[in-house]
Amino acid sequence: MKLAQSLLLLFAITLFPGCHAIRITEPQRTATEQLLMSTATDHAVRNIDLSLLKERKVFFDQSYFDSYDDGYAVGSLRELISKSGGCLVKDRDSAEVVVEARSGTLGIDSRDALAGLPELAIPLSFAGQVQSPEISLYKAQKADSVAKFALLVYETPSGEFLHATGPLVGKAKFYHYKILGFLNWRRTDIPEQKPGYWASSASRTDAEHAKTSAPEAESFNLNQRRN
């Protein structure tokens, strides 16, 4: 009797399998959008010369830096000060120099072009409204990011002018093309979105790991020979 009940239960499980759903939360911006803005930021700050800050105590003032997703940009500017030899301090009173940052823009412009039929809402008397699929002979989706910053450097507490960078402008792009609905390619200057980036990155990581591990292995073999 118990065997029959067990078989019946097993049969019922196979007929009525359970189901589950995985809930995925998405950020406000896609990864590509974030990479566009961070790459534009990289391009804006890559040629700044702040060598005058070397061995000086620097307070970074970001009160005039107001932009969307500005954390990466602020961090990049602070990193630049540190790499230039400046010593970042937490408060203005203990600083010799103030670097005042301001933002002109940090955003994305996007545009689409389609040769074909877009998605259409088709009313049906017996089924309400259905969405027709997009039929594209040619489709282009283009997104450009622009970053514009500026830095003012002055002495403290006197406020005497030391340096101004003027506008620092960087751009990044991500263009995606599709032909006949299935032929796809892209043009971009985002390193992480270029074909083969992750494979080459993994290769570089493996090479660095092997280089780091080599002296340890050599030392181990040398100890073995000595023993």
pLDDT for residue 45 is more than 70: yes
Which of 30-34, 107-111, 166-170, 200-204 shows the lowest mean pLDDT across its residues? 200-204
pLDDT, position 3:
53
Q: Burial code of 53-85, b = ≥16 C-beta within 10 A, e = fewer?
A: beebebbbbbeebebeebeebbebbbebbeebe
Domains delineated in the chain: 27-192 (3.40.50)
Query: pLDDT per residue over 171-213, tens digit each?
Result: 999 999 999 878 899 999 999 988 877 666 656 555 555 555 5
- Burial class from Cβ neighbours inside 10 Å (0-12, 13-18, 19+) for residue 96 reads middle
Contact 152, 164 (CB under 8 A): yes
Q: Let me know how long the chain is.
A: 227
Q: Give dist(CA 186, CA 192) in Å, integer.
A: 13
Residue 205 belongs to what H/E stretch? helix 197-226
Q: What is the mean pLDDT of residues 215-225?
A: 42
Contact 69, 110 (CB under 8 A): no
pLDDT, position 140:
94
Q: How far is CA 193 from CA 32, 42, 183, in A?
A: 8, 15, 18
Which of 48-52, 168-172, 195-199 shows the lowest mean pLDDT across its residues? 195-199
Q: Give dist(CA 121, CA 107) in Å, integer.
A: 32
pLDDT for residue 217 is more than 70: no
